[in-house]
Amino acid sequence: MSIRIYNEGQINYIRKAGEILYKTFEMLKNNILEGVRTKELDRITEEFVRENNGITPCKGYRGYPANICASINEELIHGIPGNKKLNNGDIISIDIVVSYKGYLADAARSFIVGSTNEKNKKLLEVVEKSFFEGIKYAREGLYVGDISKNIQQYVEQNGFSIIKEFAGHGVGRRMHEEPEIPNFFTGNKGARLKAGMVLAIEPMIAIGRPNVRVMSDGWTIVMADRKYAAHYENTIVIKSNGEPEVVTLMQR
């Protein structure tokens, strides 16, 4: 078992998957509205990705029944889209994987429906910023643990808790590859980072206690104390110059 190193041609396919994913979120942003059902978000995502020559490999992954994960409020991740309608003040985390010619990119965003309270706004701001704190250390010669440690430090300094049961991961040919990338320092610095690695870094944080439960649908992960949680994820590539490139954000 080892961490895959991708060549420039393969990375270009991953970049293309990332571009489709980025555009998908731009499209979805305009559809995160009060009264919209999460299954509708699932349907328009599937259609949009297909029109852009990608596919949504979450569907059927270990029996997962939808194209996207849509997790509302106290739901952390893996919420199954359905008849539930969005309400003003909700926060919704959407997680999507896109495959382009067999190469995958993975990203998640948390959105506000309408307007919400200051605490929720702060939660969303901190989860997103913690990703960028983490990737300051995603460069050749540093370690997975450097990313983890800096995500944790930023989140905890801001008064939120880190969910420890779920982690980021390598991605590329498969949805989950080595290495595992925890959002906290495990006591082990982990693998050394190297050009050609492709990593999905995904902080998951909560307002209350970090304990989670699985709901009766067998998928949805919910906060045990039912306080709100958020998730933010991008796929990055360590380029040949040793620097990270985020492939699921607009490149400039």
C-beta of residue 91 within 8 angstroms of C-beta of residue 116: yes
Interface residue with ligand MF3, options 12, 31, 44, 64 (CB under 6 A): 64
Compute the least distance from the CB of residue 176 to Co ion, in Å: 7
Query: Judged by CB under 5 A, which stretch of 4-12, 34-42, 67-75, 200-208 contacts Co ion?
Result: 200-208
* β-strands 234-238, 198-201 pairing: antiparallel
149 near ligand MF3 (CB under 6 A): no
Show the binding pattern over residues 206-235: x = contacts ligand MF3 (CB under 6 A), - = does not: ---------------------------x--
Structural Rg of the chain based on CA atoms: 17
Compute the least distance from the CB of residue 197 to Co ion, in Å: 15
Interface residue with ligand MF3, options 19, 95, 133, 146 (CB under 6 A): 95
200 near Co ion (CB under 5 A): yes
Compute the least distance from the CB of residue 240 to ligand MF3, in Å: 26
Compute the least distance from the CB of residue 89 to ligand MF3, in Å: 25
Query: Judged by CB under 5 A, which stretch of 55-63, 182-190, 199-207, 237-245 contacts Co ion?
Result: 199-207
Closer residue to ligand MF3 in complex, CB, 78/139: 78
Amino acid code (one letter) for 174 = R
For the record, the structure tokens of 182 come out as 């925890």
61 near ligand MF3 (CB under 6 A): yes
28 near Co ion (CB under 5 A): no
41 near Co ion (CB under 5 A): no
Task: List binders of Co ion among 201-230 (CB under 5 A).
Answer: 202
Q: How far is it, in rounded angstroms, from Cα 44 to Cα 123?
A: 27
177 near ligand MF3 (CB under 6 A): no
- Contact residues toward ligand MF3 (CB under 6 A) are 58, 61-62, 64, 69, 78, 95, 97, 106, 200, 202, 233
- Give me the residues that bind Co ion (CB under 5 A), please: 106, 200, 202
